């Protein structure tokens, strides 16, 4: 059990340090307040700047998760029994990790989306999906109903955000076309 819990702990430590380092890079997009209002990770709330002061919720949840994993690692080291039932909780946290970060930014080396950093070399493609009546985000707000969902495909997964205006969609397409081959 120490292997699984320890690996999860080290993986989350790696992700937080990587994210914090990338947040300090110069931001290519969004640079204006209007751009910030037109990009969303969650349908009802526009994104915040990639500054540590504005990403306190994500940092708090990550800190609590790391503390919990550290307690599990110490507990596992001191315990003689091998009960795996408590190992499910850190795995659930990993699945919802990106949702607690209200972050989308394009920086020099790639894209910050939720709690993930995707480098340019890992991006294989992107596409915009229109939000219509059959879309999962339809109905949250009038801005979202007429918007798009941007999907960025990497080697192993996808990240997405909501774009609520045509002008921002064109800006994003221009930036992504310049970096994605």
Q: Give 33-85 pLDDT, tens digit per residue.
A: 888 899 998 888 878 777 777 767 777 777 777 787 777 777 777 776 666 56
d(CA 72, CA 86): 8
| Rounded alpha-carbon distances, angstroms, from residue 163 to 83, 102, 116, 130, 151 | 45, 14, 18, 10, 11
What value does the mean pLDDT take over residues 15-42? 87
Predicted pLDDT at 123:
93
**E strand or H helix at 79:** none
Rounded mean pLDDT, 100-129: 89
- CA dist 13 and 59 (Å) reads 12
Phi, psi of 149 (to 5 degrees): -110, 125
Phi, psi of 87 (to 5 degrees): -75, -10
- Count of residues in the chain: 181
Residue 1's pLDDT is what?
45
């Amino acid at each position: 059990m120490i292997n699984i819990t320890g690996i999860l702990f080290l993986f989350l430590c790696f992700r937080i340090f990587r994210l914090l380092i990338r947040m300090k890079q110069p931001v290519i997009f969004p640079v204006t307040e209007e751009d910030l209002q037109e990009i969303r990770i969650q349908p009802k709330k526009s994104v915040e700047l990639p500054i540590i002061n504005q990403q306190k919720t994500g940092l708090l949840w990550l800190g609590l998760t790391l503390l919990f994993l550290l307690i599990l690692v110490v507990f596992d080291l001191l315990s003689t029994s091998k009960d795996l039932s408590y190992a499910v909780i850190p795995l659930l946290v990993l699945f919802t990790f990106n949702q607690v970060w209200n972050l989308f930014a394009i920086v020099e080396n790639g894209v910050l989306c939720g709690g993930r950093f995707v480098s340019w070399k890992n991006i294989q493609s992107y596409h915009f999906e229109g939000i219509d009546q059959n879309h999962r985000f339809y109905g949250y707000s009038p801005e979202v109903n007429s918007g798009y969902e941007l999907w960025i495909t990497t080697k192993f997964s996808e990240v997405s955000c909501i774009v609520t205006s045509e002008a921002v969609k064109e800006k994003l397409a221009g930036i992504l076309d310049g970096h994605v081959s």
